[in-house]
Chains A and B, each alone.
Chain A
Amino acid sequence: EVQLVESGGGLVKPGGSLRLSCAASGFSLSIYSMIWVRQAPGKGLEWVSSISSSNSYIYYADSVKGRFTISRDNARNSAYLQMNSLRAEDTAVYYCARDPARISGGSHIPYFFDYWGQGALVVVSS
């Protein structure tokens, strides 16, 4: 059974840092892209970042570029989101999801997200 479990969420002060982890089971992470999506309170879904299976293609939303870093460890079957310089507007439930990706012009492009974790709550507040 495919499972994704996020951890590492919590309360952090503005300007602080947090690292989210996404542990995968039931499949080999090494052949999939992985993505992070967030949902702020009362808002819709917002794509945050994607990383290809080989680490060669990494994408970020403008809202987090320069502050967040996505990474993966295929040997540990895990993906990560390092979040620095956190702001109040980063408060959200963060989901990781699996992405089969597609190849276009030699690049791996995010495609559809077929399995999701239950989410990790991040609250940025003083």
Chain B
Amino acid sequence: DIQMTQSPSSLSASVGDRVSLTCRASQSITRYLNWYQHKAGKAPKLLIYAASSLQGGDSSRFSGSGSGTDFTLTISSLQPEDSATYYCQQSYSTPITFGQGTRLEIK
């Protein structure tokens, strides 16, 4: 199975900050990497697919980069509504696996 490791596990930042969340795969997954935002009690929301493609209708403050084993989700100019847990997910092979999540707190 492909293991996905996210860092940091949690992060606190201020409104207007630019933050980067990292996801590392245990083997190359080329660009089969997706990012989700999950708020407590809500449905997870797809932000980025195929490493860097922004899901339609989502804010351009979110961007994704990377290939192979190392990937980054960047949020420019943090807003209060960005407080959530962010998960990466590989779709290179089954079983599909998620990272353990990065909890983002807005100060």
Binding site for A on B (CB under 8 A): 32, 34, 36, 38, 42-46, 49-50, 55, 85, 87, 89, 91, 93-101
Contacts and interface: CB of A to CB of B under 8 A. Distances in A.
Max chain A C-beta neighbours (<10 A), residue from B38, B49, B95, B97: B95
B58 to A, nearest CB: 11
B100 A44 contact: yes
Contact of A47 (B32, B42, B96, B99): B96
A44 B98 contact: yes
B34 to A, nearest CB: 4
Interface in A24-61: 35, 37, 44-47, 50, 59, 61
A116 B100 contact: no
A112 B50 contact: yes
13 contacts: A44-B99, A44-B100, A45-B44, A45-B89, A47-B96, A59-B94, A61-B95, A110-B96, A112-B46, A113-B34, A113-B46, A113-B89, A117-B43
